[in-house]
Structure 1
Amino acid sequence: MSLINVNNLTFAYEGSFDNIFENVSFQIDTDWKLGFTGRNGRGKTTFLNLLLGKYEYSGKITAHVSFEYFPFQVENKENQTLDIIQDMVPDYQLWELMRELSLLQVSEDVLYRPFETLSNGEQTKVMLAALFLKENSFLLIDEPTNHLDMHARELVSDYLHSKSGYILVSHDRAFLDNCVDHILSINRTNIEVQKGNFSDWWENKQRQDNYELAENEKLKKDIKRLSDAAKRTSNWSDAVEKTKNGTLNSGLKVDKGYIGHKAAKMMQRSKSIEKRQQSAIDDKSKLLKNIENQDSLKIAQLAYHKNQMAELEKVSIHYGEKLVCSDINFTIEQGERIALAGKNGSGKSSILKLICGEDIDHTGTFRKGSQLKISYVSQDTSHLKGNLTDFARDSGIDESLFKSILRKLDFSRVQFEKDISAFSGGQKKKVLIAKSLCEKVHLHIWDEPLNFIDVISRMQIEELLLEHSPTILFVEHDREFCNNIATKIVEL
């Protein structure tokens, strides 16, 4: 056991006026299993790169371990997997590697295949197995779930549960809950470390947020009451002071000393009230700094003229000689929220593209309602570039509504000036979802929409789908999201 100490860390990218981290200090134990959470664009990957020594910063980071980053950058993917592992861990023992692969249910034959022929899930498992063989190292695991189906996520989560000594960036709540014992959270104004899993952290955060909101309301009322009292007392003091130069009804002069003393006491009382008021204002300024924006989203889906929108009957999809999936049967009816489930490679994306109208080689019967309007969110964000204003115009959507949705999904106004290609993976996905929410359609089709998207935004999207009940067909490997949203699950 040793400690990683972060003291007064301050960092901004070159040419930027905004610090990503400012005087941040905390310490973590190298035996912990740390879940790393925070909204998109807050600097999670940046912090991992600072630990790796990739950028210059002010402050101090001290550690008696070496840091290893996942995903490992593989240079020659055409090489055999065994050679890739040799590059990653030159002094590994084969029996130890086989033990790790066995825990992840990876067959031995993958070692003797070119790395590029492995599926994304197999590549993830192989890299994790190899990195955990490194001695005296602390793993920085950056979003390993994005290419894993639900079954693989459970396997990898159980594997990480059996390990220690890592920081894990993931937005999958069930995945985090199973395999972490501490949470490192990047909040709006600070970084905190808490003991427990994600659900423990979220419960504590909600409790703290609710306390601060209640305290804020109480202080607002106190400040108004004290402000009114201070004004009244000050007015009384002025009124009394003005009588000093008057005369009594009997014609005798007033006692200026007595009146002056009385006015001074009232003024002192007024100052005391103002002091209490300032104290309440100071207390209020300490609140709500880490309350996250969770404004509700809206979707205006068009009503379709028929209840049934599409039907697949004994549909099979082929790519050349390869059969991707066979005998698929289901219907899409208005108001249904259908989750398309199955392992990677089982044909989920192909089914979505077929329904969207792409020319997919298939047999069986596929019927789609006439004049059915569909909004599609793809897995791929690599095509996104240019500014948001041009993107909204080219997409034929309302720019102000589009940007309003992005603001609710935690985009800062500074972000609106940047090129979309410079956005984080999660921010790019939010651009596609915001576009989809702006489109006036009958049916939404989303292919793994939550990849890279932060947990709080996932909850906002959940609330949107539950409140407005749009017709949606989606593929998503986040178990919590599927359990909360789907009215029907179609297993491939």
Structure 2
Amino acid sequence: MSLIKVANLTFAHEGSYDNIFENVSFQIDTDWKLGFTGRNGRGKTSFLNLLLGKYEYSGKIAANVHFEYFPFHVENKQSNTLDVINDICPDYLHWQLMRELSLLEVSEDVLDRPYDSLSNGEQTKVLLAALFLRENSFLLIDEPTNHLDLNARKLVSDYLQTKSGFILVSHDRSFLDNCVDHILSINKTDIEIQKGNFTNWWENKKRQDRFELAENEKLKKDIRRLSDASKRTSNWSDEVEKTKNGTRNSGSKVDKGYVGHKAAKMMKRSKAMEQRQQSAIDARSRLLRNIETSENLKISQLTYHKRQLAELENVSIYYGEKRVCQDVSFTIEQGERIALSGKNGSGKSSIIKLICGENLTYTGTFRRGSQLKISYVSQETSHLQGNLTDYARNNRIDESLFKAILRKLDFSRAQFEKDISAFSGGQKKKVLIAKSLSEQAHLLIWDEPLNFIDIISRMQIEELLLEYAPTILFVEHDSEFCNNMATKIIEL
């Protein structure tokens, strides 16, 4: 066991005026299974790069370990998979590799296949096996769940549960809960470490948020009461002071010493109240710094004139001679939230394309309501560019609602001035989701919408969908999201 010590870490990207980290201090035990969470754009990948020594910073990072980053960059993807593993980790025993592949349920024959012929899930598993062949290293594992279906996520999570000595960036709650024993969270104003899994951390955060909100209300009332009392006392002091130069009603002279003493006493009391008021203000300023605020939104979906929006009956889809799915049957009715489930390659995206109106070769019966308006969120974000105002105008959506949704999903005002092409992967997906929620449509169709999106935003998207209850067909490998959202699951 050794420690990674971070002391007074301050860092900003070159050319930026805003610090991502400011005077941050904490320490990590290298035996921990550490889940790393935080909103998109808060600096998770930046922190991993700081550990890797890629950026200049002020403060200190002290570590007696070697860091390894996942996913590895594969230079020649046409090489055999075994050669790719040898390039990553030249010094290993063959039985060790076989043990790791067996734990990940990867067959030995993949080693003789070109790396680029493997599925995305197989590539992820192979690179993870190579990662854990690297001994005496502390591992930085960055979003391994991308491209993994539900079954593969469970398998990889079980695999990581048997390991230790890593920081794991993931936005999948169930995945984290199963395989970590500590949480490192980047909050709005600090970084904190807590023992336990993500659910433990989230429950603690909600408890702390509730306490701070209650304290904030209490202090607001105290500040108002003290402010009013201070003003009254100060006014009384002024009135008493004015009587020093007058006479009493009886005609006798005023005792100026007594009046002055009384006025001074009242003024002292007023000053004491002001100090208490300032103390309450200072205490309040330390609250609510890490509460994730969100706005109330009004989102509405078009109502279709029929209950049934679409129907598939024994549909099989083909690309040339290749059949990608067979005898798929289900209906989409208003108000349903349908999860389209199945292993990678089972035809989920093809079903979505067919319903969206793409001209695909298929057999069976497919019916779609006439004049049906669909809002589609694709997996692809590379086409996004320009500023958000122009994007809203070009897509003919309500700019105010569009930006309000993005603010709810943790976009700062400064973010609205940037070009979308400079956004992180998670921020780009949020743009597509906000666009879809702003469109006037009968049916939402979302294809893996949550890739790269942070956990808190995922929960907010759940809340929005549950509150406004649109009709939606979606493909998503986040099991928690599917369990909370789906009224019907179609297994391919």
Q: Same fold (TM over 0.5)?
A: yes
* Partners of 2:79 and 2:240 in 1: CA distance: 94
1:164 is aligned to: 164
Q: Where does residue 139 of structure 1 map in the other structure?
A: 139
* Residues 296 and 464, structure 1, Cα contact 8 Å, conserved in 2: no
Aligned-residue offset at 1:252: 2.2
Which deviates more from structure 2 when the two are superposed, residues 339-348 or residues 399-408?
Answer: 399-408
| 1:368-409 deviation digits (Å, cap 9, x = unpaired) | 000000000001111111111221122121222211211111
In the superposition, relative to structure 1, how do residues 342 and 57 fare at CA in structure 2: closer, same or farther (>3 Å)? same
Could you say what the CA RMSD is over the residues aligned between the two structures, in angstroms?
0.9
Number of the residue aligned with 2:95 = 95
Instruction: Tell me the residue number matched to 2:9.
Output: 9
4+ residue runs of structure 1 moved beyond 6 angstroms? none
Match of 2:152 in 1: 152
1:250 offset after TM fit, Å?
3.2
Within 5 Å, give how 1:398-477 maps onto structure 2: 398-477=398-477
Give yes or no for contact 1:312–1:330 (8 Å, CA) kept in 2. yes
- Alignment of 1:18 onto 2:18: yes
Equivalent residue letter for 1:381:
T
Partner of residue 193, structure 1: 193
What does residue 300 of structure 2 align with?
300
Q: Which residue of 2 aligns with 1:245?
A: 245
Cross-structure match for 1:323: 323
Q: How far apart are the structure 2 equivalents of 1:326 and 1:213?
A: 54
CA 1:354 to 1:123, structure 2 compared with 1: closer, same or farther past 3 Å?
same
Task: Provide structure 1 residue ranges, at least 5 long, that are not aligned to the other structure.
Answer: none
Q: Is the 8 A contact 1:297 1:460 kept in 2?
A: no
Q: Which residue of 2 aligns with 1:27?
A: 27
Give the 3-state SS of the residue equivalent to 1:429 in structure 2: helix
What is aligned with 2:82? 82
Equivalents in 1 of 2:391, 2:491: separation in Å?
Answer: 35
C-alpha displacement at 1:254, in angstroms?
1.1
**Cα separation, 1, equivalents of 2:401 and 2:148:** 33
Change (3 A) 1:160 1:297: farther
What secondary structure, in the 3-state scheme, does the structure 2 residue paired with 1:146 have? coil
User: Offset of 1:56 from its aligned partner?
Assistant: 1.1
CA deviation after TM superposition for structure 1 residue 468, in Å: 1.4
Which residue of 2 is the match for residue 206 of structure 1? 206
Q: Confirm whether residue 258 of structure 1 aligns to residue 258 of structure 2.
A: yes
Distance 1:251 1:45 in 2: 82
Q: Distance in 2 between matches of 1:260 and 1:402?
A: 63
Give the CA deviation at 1:49.
0.9
Matched letter for residue 331 of structure 2: T
Question: Deviations for 1:211-249, whole angstroms, at most 9, x for unmatched residues?
Answer: 000000000000000001111111111111111111223
Contact 1:241 1:260 survives alignment (8 Å): yes
Percent of pairs with identical residues: 81
Q: Is the 8 A contact 1:307 1:333 kept in 2?
A: yes
Cα distance, 1:14 vs. partner?
A: 1.0
Contact 2:79 2:115 in 1 (8 A): yes
Could you tell me how far 1:298 is from its partner in structure 2? 4.0
What is the CA-CA distance between 1:296 and the residue it aligns to?
Answer: 4.3
Residue segments in structure 2 that go unaligned for 5+ positions in a row: none
TM-score, with length taken from structure 1: 0.99
For 2:72, the equivalent position in structure 1 comes to: 72
Question: What secondary structure is seen at the aligned counterpart in 2 of 1:382?
Answer: coil
CA distance in 2, matches of 1:296, 1:342: 35
TM-score (norm 2): 0.99
Taking the aligned partners of 1:55 and 1:321, their CA distance within structure 2 comes to 51
Deviation at 1:251, TM superposition (A): 2.5
Q: What secondary structure is seen at the aligned counterpart in 2 of 1:145? A: coil
Letter in 1 for 2:465: L
Structure 1 counterpart of 2:161, one-letter code: H
The number of residue pairs the alignment matches comes to: 492
Alignment CA distance shift 1:416-1:139 (3 Å): same
| Equivalent residues of 1:176, 1:197 under 8 A apart | yes
Alignment of 1:285-364 (within 5 A): 285-364=285-364
Give CA deviations for 1:54-82 in whole Å, capped at 9, x if unaligned: 11111111111111111111010000000
Q: Distance in 2 between matches of 1:280 and 1:207?
A: 22
Query: Is the 1:297–1:461 Cα contact (8 Å) retained in structure 2?
Result: no
Q: 1:327 is aligned with what amino acid?
A: D
The one-character-per-residue Cα deviations of 1:428-475 (angstroms, maximum 9, x if unpaired) are 000000000111010000001111111111111111111111100000
For 1:85, the aligned partner's letter is I
- Give the letter for the 2:173 counterpart: R
Residue in 1 that maps onto 2:45: 45
